[in-house]
Amino acid sequence: MFEGIKKFGFGLMRLPKLADDSIDVELVKKLVDEFLAAGFTYFDTAWAYSGSEVAIRQALVERYPREKFQLATKLAAWRATTQDEALKQFDESLERTGAKFFDFYLLHNMGDYRTKYFDDFKVWDFVAEKKSAGLIKNLGFSFHATPEELEKILTAHPEVDFVQLQINWADWDAPAIKSRACYEVAQRHGKKVVVMEPVKGGMLAAPPAQIEKILRDAEHESSPASWALRFAANLDGVAVVLSGMNSLEQMRDNVSTLKNFTKLTPAQEKVIDEARNELAKIPLIPCTACDYCANVCPQKLPISGFFAMLNHLTLFENKTFASRREGWLARARDKNPASSCLKCGKCESVCPQHIPIRKNLVRFVHEFERSD
């Protein structure tokens, strides 16, 4: 299924933009040209990535023979309110991309409350029909939830050809993401893995100073991003490592990292372990995102999302990045801000990690809600 496809894919979620906020298609064309010229062929978009499917039609599909690349896109059933609305995303993707068929088609972001939509709207039967009709060559799903849930989905759907997982060296053992455990579930089921977020939304390309020092001391000439990509590419069973790129400089750095990729040496693996251990010294809130607290909170506060933002801030000392990167986990905060906490303590009585939630919410208000 992935035979002949090199291990590096172009992730099209965050494409470069012009001043008027539209996608810079001319720059995307240049990026596509460099990517293909380096021998890479895998492109990953989604119905839900605003403007991305149309941009890739203009930059790739209309400019290169269809057999020269593979295109992956995704159906986000949880964005729909009816079955009809969900299933028509497939035809919309075909029309927007002009791709005629999809080499790889994914159910987008399964896990948590979202999984149910794919069952309720009979998306699994629908994509099986499209696969029989030759419009989908390989079927997979992207996933952001627990290894237990991944186990359940893969057991229920052995027809899946591959899974797309969030894997990076920082999240490898992180309780909220559990990259390693999810990867191991996929391995046990014999599924090929496409890696998303190998540089954690760009953050591992510019890690905290003490982490960068460890990486640069080991290999002065290698960028932190190259360590992140190599960590993901090094894993057995990983077929493609996706990276979003919005400048030629990033593209060239990534391409040179993965063009002649060879397995990491034990010494290089040790460097990553050291970086991870250093990261572990940074005092983070040990929240596992189980959301027991949110279920009992009378104010319905997205507590684990707040903590993801605080942890990001602790790690990278950048509030804008913390909001941009993890803010979606706390998207209910517009209606339910941390400052509306009643201090009733119900959340703390159910938190398995015994986290002083109220105290941390005060910190959140101070960092993210107060303007002074």
Q: Can you give the binding site for ligand SF4, defined by CB under 6 A?
A: 287-293, 297-299, 301, 303-304, 341-347, 351, 353, 355, 357-358, 361
CA distances to 95, 153, 357 from 300, in Å: 40, 28, 14
Instruction: Pick the closer one to ligand SF4 by CB: 112 or 269.
Output: 112
Name the token pair of 314.
Answer: 């602790």
Closest CB 36 distance from ligand SF4, rounded Å: 44
Query: How many C-beta atoms surround the C-beta of residue 267 within 10 A?
Result: 8
CA angle 147-130-78, nearest 5°?
A: 45
Nearest approach in angstroms of CB 298 to ligand SF4 is 6
Provide the minimum distance between the beta carbon of 121 and ligand SF4 in the complex, in angstroms, as a whole number: 29
For residue 109, the tally of other CB atoms under 10 A from its CB is 21
Nearer Cβ to ligand SF4 (33/369) = 369
Minimum CB separation from ligand SF4 for residue 349, in Å? Answer: 9
Spell out the residues 6+ positions from residue 135 whose beta carbon is closer than 8 angstroms to its own: 90, 94, 101, 102
State whether residue 349 is helix, strand or coil. Answer: helix
Per-residue exposure over 144-168, b if at least 16 CB sit within 10 Å of its own CB, e if not:
bbbbebbbebbeebeebbbbbbbbb
276-307 burial, b if ≥16 CB within 10 A, otherwise e?
beebeeeebbebbbbebbbeebebebbbbbbb
Q: Output the DSSP codes for 268-310.
A: HHHHHHHHHHHHHTS---------HHHHH-TT---HHHHHHHH
25 versus 287: smaller Cβ distance to ligand SF4: 287
Smallest distance, Å, CB 353 to ligand SF4?
Answer: 4
Q: In angstroms, give the least distance from the CB of 323 to ligand SF4.
A: 19
Q: Which is nearer to ligand SF4, 229 or 338 (CB)?
A: 338
By CB atoms closer than 10 A (0-12, 13-18, 19+), residue 218 is middle
At closest approach, how far in Å is the CB of 207 from ligand SF4? 24
CB of 340: closest distance to ligand SF4 in angstroms?
7
Nearer to ligand SF4 by Cβ, of 161 and 369: the residue is 369
Closer Cβ to ligand SF4, 261 or 292, answer by number: 292
- CB nearer to ligand SF4: give 237 or 286: 286
CA distances from 246 to 14, 26, 226, 230, 251 (A): 8, 12, 16, 20, 8
- Nearer Cβ to ligand SF4, position 18 or 344? 344
